Structure 1
Amino acid sequence: MSLLHLAVLSPLLLALLIPFLHKHFRNIHTGWFLLPLPAVLFVYFLQFISVTRNGDTIMESFPWISSLGVDFALKIDGLGLLFALLITGIGALVVLYSIYYLSPEKEKLNTFYIYLLLFMGAMLGVVLSDNLIVLYTFWELTSFSSFLLIGYWNHKEGSRYGAQKSMLITVFGGLSMLGGILMLYIITGTFSISETIEMSNQVINHPLFTATLILFLLGAFTKSAQFPFHIWLPDAMEAPTPVSAYLHSATMVKAGIYLVARMTPVFAHSGVWVWLVAGIGVLTLFWGSFSAVKQTDLKAILAFSTVSQLGMIMSLLGVGAAALHYGTIKDGYYIVAVTAAVFHLINHATFKGSLFMVTGIIDHETGTRDIRKLGGLMNFMPITFTLAIIGAFSMAGIPPFNGFLSKEMFFTGMLRVAKMDIFSLNTWGILFPIIAWAASVFTFLYSMMYVFKTFTGKYQPEKLEKKPHEAPIGMLISPVILASLVMIFGIFPNVLSHSIISPAMGAILPSLLENREGFDVHISHWHGPTPELYMTIGVIILGFLLFKTLPKWTGIYRIFPERLALNHIYDRGLELIQITSRNITKTYMNGFIRTYLVYIFSFFILILATTLVYRNAFKLDFSNVAPIRFLEVILVLIIAVSSITIMFAKSRLTSIILLGAVGYTVALFFVIFRAPDLALTQLVIETVSVALFLLAFYHLPKLGRNEERIRFKLGNAIVSIGVGAIVTLIALSAHSNKMFDSIAQYYIENTYKKAGGENMVNVILVDFRGFDTMFEITVLGIAALGIFAMIKLRLTRGKE
């Protein structure tokens, strides 16, 4: 196992140590033990920038399930490295922030940090895996760990609801993606992502191509909260603010973005991919920004803004995918969309991470996030106010912040899409820049709401739970670092051009690279009086007017009927599923074991009989059957008569005696078939069983056949006869269809030689089938413990 494998697994390994560290060092905040890991990993991944900048990759593989083509293969290229740096860098800042945000006296910190480490390791596994099955394994681990993080405050109904919703939606997408992975394996015969990309021409010409594409996009859209699956993300804001800052700005919600970027070389040659990714992306962009304006909770505003910004990145990847159809990097006129996608991916992590932390500070120091109660905080929290301006203005796309640059490139990409002469983009594509501009107006609007409704206006101390004051320095360090990066990347954007952005683009559009130097990315603030500049001026003017007239037009949000809202449809859908399943369950779960056995045995008969007929498996061959002796006929008759008589016995003692007769007769069969060990075991078990029945004789229920007449039930008779008949037919068919040589000769030859035992039965049980015997003993031991616990249990009458 390589150092890269250890780097990916190190968060999972540290998670195992957290309970011990928390227990033995209670005077130290558990986060301090965690903080060095993401910081060290961030530095470790930084060393690979020189590798990816030159167009090279690092590949490490560790055998896992090699027979199925599943190896723990990891690959570092420009795209994987970008995400690894975001995961570890933002992760370190989030851990530092959480040390001051979460109180050791009020929170179960060991649980919180275990969940956080699980998520960090899972995300690293997702973005660095070069095997689709390994990627899927880590993908589902992100869903599971995010479920735990969102529901961390499980005493709150909202946290439980949000965790459940995120789990249901993202796991649905994950299972869909698994179907796509299996289909892709059918097409290519490999789970390797690198090999699949090289076989992209074979993939696109396969009949399963479109179905595979859609299943992959379902996984991506659900994870990255694209319309209409975005409804889980706002409810996930019930999680602690450090969780929101980590999962919903830089990591989990970017997993779907990563998947689309990684699979672009495979699927982007299809117009279905371009239209779905770009169309759903731009729709999500608009709906998220439009919905954010009506929110009154600061985290809710950021939640819908995250939905919107994810839609923006997704639409850029969709539009940029069309560049693959222009053949070479010389047609770089169209690759600006991919440049904008990668750049905004970084920018969004910086400004949105800082804004989430600012929101946490406001909540922590005032006791509320409701903008209707806030106002006038600028004088009490000047540093937080400054951070909010930097983050919100970058989100709004105002210069000189980094968000302005990627937003201008976004406008460029949307304008150029209408000029592409493929997939009818030069017709319907005109909608992209129109919707993008309208969404940007609402983005500007909710960004201004976030800042000015919180920090300016009238101060309302009577509505606040606490007297506001500036946050402690420890809580400010992380958002200050992120806000500084917003400024640095805004003023000096090309510090990222060749080191991070160009290698990531090379991984997304590998077929457009003509040499190992990568894409020539150059980002600048001024391009003259361009349409993009006029669009930005229009966004600012109209956005400002809408902000000043906010009360006069927000009534439009009440026009849309609540019953048609996606959240309402989701809730009613869950209720319908519960009601339907409850009604179906009531039809067969009536509390009677007899009824359950009828169902079980009926399906037993139906399935096995159908299989026998369908597979033409029934066969009778008596050529090698030993002759039936008179003594065996007598024993069979004794068993049959005893079994039938038990059903009509009127005495408990008679029933016990007849039951014993059946068991002892079976033991005689073992004797005449020369199986003394089995005969001895049967005799012991039967003796113990009869003895136990007699010991409990007084407590056995009366048969009651003297008081009521037993009714003959034809259905039960048919089922019982059917079970006997089908088992007999299977036994005869199994004996008649000898597909393999008997293993008996193997035991005869090897019992003494390999196991050193002369008693063949004992050797088979202890050596050749040792695991079977061990598990049987384990089951018996568990049953014995259960019986012992029931015997020792003493309930009071009120608890019975």
Structure 2
Amino acid sequence: MLLAVLLPFIIAIFIPLLSKWKNKLHTGFFVTAVPVVIFIYFIRFIGPGFEPVQREYSWIPSLDMNILFYLDGLSLLFVLLISGIGSLVAFYSIYYLHKSEQLGHFYVYFLLFMGSMLGVVLSDNVFVLYTFWEFTSLSSFLLIGFWNHREGSRYGALKSMLITVFGGLSLLGGLVYMSVITGTASIQEMMSQQELILNHEFFPLILGLVLLGAFTKSAQFPFHIWLPDAMEAPTPVSAYLHSATMVKAGIFLVARFFPMLSVSEWFFIIVSTVGIFTLCWGSYMAVRQTDLKAILAFSTISQLGMIMAMLGFGTELAIFAAAFHILNHATFKGSLFMVAGIVDHETGSRDIRRLGGLMTFLPITATLALVASFSMAGAPLPIFNGFYSKEMFFEAVYNLDGSVAGITALLQSLFPYLAVFGSIFTFVYSMYFFFGTFRGKSNVEELPKKPHEAPIGMLVSPMILVVGVIVIGLIPDLINKPFVEHAASAIGGAEIAKDIYFWHGISPAFIMSMTVVVFGTILFLVRPKWASIYNVVPGVLSLNKFYDGLVDRTERYSTFITNGYMNGSLGRYVRLILAAILIVTFGVMAFTGGFTVDTSNLSDVTVHELLIAVVMVIAAFGTIVSKNRIAAILILGVVGYGLAMLFVVYRAPDLALTQLIVETVTVGLFLLVFYHLPKLEKTNESSMTKSLNIIISVAFGLLMTMVAISSHSSKMFESMSSYFVDNSYKLGGGDNIVNVILVDFRGLDTLFEIAVLGIAAMAIFSLIRLRGKKKEE
């Protein structure tokens, strides 16, 4: 299972090598094999007797960050969608993306995203889950911005990352709270201790943080605005990220924590309300769009809202319908995105106002669009799998518990009407997509390309998905017992078994479906007569304008603040840094009683110690008053060598030796570098600046003195020295305690110190090269 998750990352390393053969064989053929292998491995788990599988791999045990993988019905559903749709999208991209594109970059990003999504849905450790969660945001940013020469692609990529990473940070806060409260990072162990979380005073905050992360990732209102702009990505990216995988990560998160969070009434209020409103708003706004992918983007928002609402309802039927619709949506929406890509590829346009009558030129594509569009609309025919889950949605929303009171009762009374309203517009945009593109008057002369049917390679993937739509519709039991029921049971935390059949009789759900068909057909036929309503709602109001204004103000204010102190004066930078340290450190010490002086356990000061200290103080003052850089460096070296002498006096020969070596090398380097600098010149600083320098330097020196004295005089925590003395040899295998601490006990700290030095070295090297180029110019 670990290899299955790591396989995309491993193959991504070799993509630059494989892409060199693209003139002989398209890189996509190599990449397609990866999700196919993963799909074959996991599909063997499907069956009536499926039991959850758990695997544990050691990673960072000291931080409770072992890699825990948990495969149950829910994660199996998502794994098969990620790998199955991924296989079809990778194959589709072979014929969509030309060999002249940067295929190496595209497929590296693609595989990184695939591996990240697999990690999200399989992880049982919350911190590992969060790590993969943020990798999905990063890799999707790269995929959306693949055509980075386009301003729209760069804008959409940045917008998606800002919003989803903001939600990711909120999610991290919720996960940390839950881990601290339960004392474990395992999701399954958290579930077994859910009472601790539910009864904790921070539960409302946890609920809000987790849902915020889910809503931003799954494009729920008002965070949905990133999804339409993400359509600037190549169509294979849209078909993969925005129909079956990334946008459903938030759905997965809510489903995974459903048994724990759904106990709260606020879970129902927040999730169902946000979901149902997103359904209505997304479907309403989809009819306004003129770009095929924009229509599908808002349709995805509405469908995600419907799934989220069903999870919010929390009944067995709603949970089952949610799991079923996750599968159905991936089949018809994935195929529709590919159809939109085919239309764009073969006509050169996605503007529905310029399209029309394409059924004559693209008969196979039109047939695929017909089945997928009517399935998305929930048309009442047994060959459309979307009808089944839509019917279950209506039944679930109609049969909500009526025994409650207050705001919950009010919402439950409104939800059926809102569900019908949103579904009516779902029917309208489905018909709008199909008939506006493939029926009506042909406008071939207005198209950049003369349309013709796509090559068979580009049709294979949407064909397979459309076959899936029909097979699930005609034989729903084929996937119900061995697959969907396991996913629904994993969400609900208990066994959920439902029968899927076409005819339910004349029920409220059937009447709601017929209402949708009738009113949806009427609204579609007279659409030009009422389309002007969009000038009123939303009119001039736009969440995109709010987002753009917020980003613009943030940039302008940040620039203003930064320019206020970044004026090129090193003196000002040093003053600001020291002043900040003074304020923060002094404040912390004042509030925690840090200013403590205890001389009861100090040893006597000897004459030679005093002499060394006096020499160091005189040398320190000498560096300040010296008017020659070389002299100042040599005098400063006296301070360093004096410190080495103190280490000798205090019987720390290893530290003394290290100090001597470092001091010698440092003085040598300083002399080498400062030799090339211009001579010191007297600055014309104002008396106020000079006074400020004196105040800050004296205050900082006194503060550091008090920190040193207080650190010895007050012990807020038990000393760790005895632990290192007892375990340096036993655990670290070394006699030198200091070296063992640096290399073993604080190895991670030392690693990052080396990394910082490496980054600084690269920055200095860049500056040197830049200076050399300027000289050449």
TM-score > 0.5, shorter chain as reference: yes
The Cα of 1:301 is off from its aligned counterpart by 0.5
Are 1:703 and 2:681 counterparts? yes
1:66 is matched by which residue type in structure 2? Answer: P
The Cα of 1:196 is off from its aligned counterpart by 2.1
The Cα of 1:469 is off from its aligned counterpart by 0.1
The Cα of 1:769 is off from its aligned counterpart by 10
Deviations 1:624-662 (CA, angstroms, capped at 9, x unpaired): 444353x7767766665666566566x64xx64466355
Aligned pair in 2 of structure 1 residues 99, 270: CA closer, same or farther (>3 Å)?
A: same
Are 1:365 and 2:346 counterparts? yes
2:547 is matched by which residue type in structure 1? Answer: Y
Are 1:284 and 2:281 counterparts? no
Counterpart of 1:703 in 2: which secondary structure? coil
Report what 1:20 is aligned to: 17
1:215 to 209, 217, 220: 209
The Cα of 1:387 is off from its aligned counterpart by 0.6
Are 1:723 and 2:700 counterparts? yes
Structure 1: distance between partners of 2:740 and 2:489: 62
Deviations 1:99-148 (CA, angstroms, capped at 9, x unpaired): 1111112x111111111111111111111222222222211111111111
1:18 is matched by which residue type in structure 2? Answer: I
Deviations 1:537-557 (CA, angstroms, capped at 9, x unpaired): 222222222122111111110
Structure 2: distance between partners of 1:778 and 1:435: 55
Indicate conservation of the 8 Å contact 1:408/1:533, yes or no: yes
Aligned pair in 2 of structure 1 residues 100, 734: CA closer, same or farther (>3 Å)?
A: same
Structure 2: distance between partners of 1:180 and 1:533: 41
Counterpart of 1:60 in 2: which secondary structure? strand
2:367 is matched by which residue type in structure 1? Answer: T
Are 1:482 and 2:461 counterparts? no
Deviations 1:20-56 (CA, angstroms, capped at 9, x unpaired): 2222564111111111221222122121112xx2362
Indicate conservation of the 8 Å contact 1:297/1:370, yes or no: yes
Structure 2: distance between partners of 1:260 and 1:185: 17
2:284 is matched by which residue type in structure 1? Answer: F
Indicate conservation of the 8 Å contact 1:419/1:425, yes or no: no
The Cα of 1:623 is off from its aligned counterpart by 5.8
Report what 1:411 is aligned to: 394
Report what 1:392 is aligned to: 373
Are 1:581 and 2:555 counterparts? no
1:438 to 390, 408, 421: 421
Counterpart of 1:564 in 2: which secondary structure? coil
Indicate conservation of the 8 Å contact 2:324/2:484, yes or no: yes
The Cα of 1:293 is off from its aligned counterpart by 0.5
Residues 576-725 of structure 1: matches in 2 within 5 Å?
576-617=553-594, 618-621=596-599, 624-629=602-607, 644=621, 652=628, 656-657=630-631, 660-661=634-635, 663-664=637-638, 667=641, 684=664, 688=668, 692=672, 696=676, 700-701=678-679, 703-704=681-682, 713-725=690-702
Are 1:454 and 2:448 counterparts? no
The Cα of 1:191 is off from its aligned counterpart by 2.0
Aligned pair in 2 of structure 1 residues 668, 568: CA closer, same or farther (>3 Å)?
A: closer
Structure 1: distance between partners of 2:580 and 2:321: 59
The Cα of 1:477 is off from its aligned counterpart by 0.6
Aligned pair in 2 of structure 1 residues 798, 345: CA closer, same or farther (>3 Å)?
A: same
Aligned pair in 2 of structure 1 residues 19, 774: CA closer, same or farther (>3 Å)?
A: closer
Are 1:567 and 2:561 counterparts? no
Structure 2: distance between partners of 1:259 and 1:774: 34
Query: Where does structure 1 lack aligned partners over 5 or more consecutive residues?
Result: 324-334
Structure 2: distance between partners of 1:735 and 1:120: 53
Indicate conservation of the 8 Å contact 1:402/1:489, yes or no: yes
Counterpart of 1:417 in 2: which secondary structure? coil
Deviations 1:715-754 (CA, angstroms, capped at 9, x unpaired): 21111111222222333444556975989x979x99xxx9
Percent identity, aligned pairs only, is 48
Deviations 1:683-725 (CA, angstroms, capped at 9, x unpaired): 85697479659955xx6335348x9998872221111111222
Indicate conservation of the 8 Å contact 2:22/2:99, yes or no: no
2:71 to 53, 70, 76: 76
Counterpart of 1:226 in 2: which secondary structure? coil
Query: Where does structure 2 lack aligned partners over 5 or more consecutive residues?
Result: none
Report what 1:49 is aligned to: 46
Structure 1: distance between partners of 2:246 and 2:754: 45
Report what 2:476 is aligned to: 493
The Cα of 1:302 is off from its aligned counterpart by 0.5
Report what 2:251 is aligned to: 257
Structure 1: distance between partners of 2:578 and 2:358: 71
Are 1:275 and 2:269 counterparts? yes
Structure 2: distance between partners of 1:445 and 1:772: 59
Residues 314-393 of structure 1: matches in 2 within 5 Å?
314-319=308-313, 321=314, 323=315, 335-393=316-374
Structure 2: distance between partners of 1:509 and 1:224: 20
Greater shift in the superposed pair: 677-686 or 765-774? 765-774
The Cα of 1:16 is off from its aligned counterpart by 1.4
Q: TM-score, normalised by structure 1?
A: 0.87
Are 1:299 and 2:293 counterparts? yes
The Cα of 1:199 is off from its aligned counterpart by 2.6
Aligned pair in 2 of structure 1 residues 690, 81: CA closer, same or farther (>3 Å)?
A: closer
Q: TM-score, normalised by structure 2?
A: 0.89
1:542 to 519, 526, 529: 519
Are 1:309 and 2:306 counterparts? no
Deviations 1:341-394 (CA, angstroms, capped at 9, x unpaired): 122111111111111110000000000000110111111111011011001111
In terms of Rg, which structure is larger?
1
Quote the RMSD (CA, aligned, Å): 3.6
Structure 2: distance between partners of 1:58 and 1:740: 44
Indicate conservation of the 8 Å contact 1:282/1:312, yes or no: yes
Structure 2: distance between partners of 1:40 and 1:694: 61
Structure 2: distance between partners of 1:770 and 1:402: 56
1:39 to 30, 36, 39: 36
1:580 is matched by which residue type in structure 2? Answer: Y
Indicate conservation of the 8 Å contact 2:612/2:645, yes or no: no
Indicate conservation of the 8 Å contact 2:217/2:249, yes or no: yes
The Cα of 1:667 is off from its aligned counterpart by 4.1
Structure 1: distance between partners of 2:471 and 2:415: 30
The Cα of 1:523 is off from its aligned counterpart by 1.5
Structure 2: distance between partners of 1:66 and 1:778: 23
Deviations 1:568-626 (CA, angstroms, capped at 9, x unpaired): 11111111211222222233222211111111112223333334444434324276444
1:270 is matched by which residue type in structure 2? Answer: S
2:53 to 41, 51, 58: 58
2:80 is matched by which residue type in structure 1? Answer: L
1:558 is matched by which residue type in structure 2? Answer: N
Aligned pair in 2 of structure 1 residues 756, 424: CA closer, same or farther (>3 Å)?
A: closer
Are 1:87 and 2:87 counterparts? no
Counterpart of 2:359 in 1: which secondary structure? helix
Report what 1:327 is aligned to: none
Indicate conservation of the 8 Å contact 1:664/1:686, yes or no: no
The Cα of 1:317 is off from its aligned counterpart by 1.4
Counterpart of 1:35 in 2: which secondary structure? helix
Aligned pair in 2 of structure 1 residues 595, 357: CA closer, same or farther (>3 Å)?
A: same
Aligned pair in 2 of structure 1 residues 552, 10: CA closer, same or farther (>3 Å)?
A: same
Deviations 1:152-172 (CA, angstroms, capped at 9, x unpaired): 111111111111111111111
Counterpart of 1:73 in 2: which secondary structure? strand
Structure 1: distance between partners of 2:600 and 2:45: 72
Aligned pair in 2 of structure 1 residues 162, 594: CA closer, same or farther (>3 Å)?
A: same
Structure 2: distance between partners of 1:426 and 1:367: 51
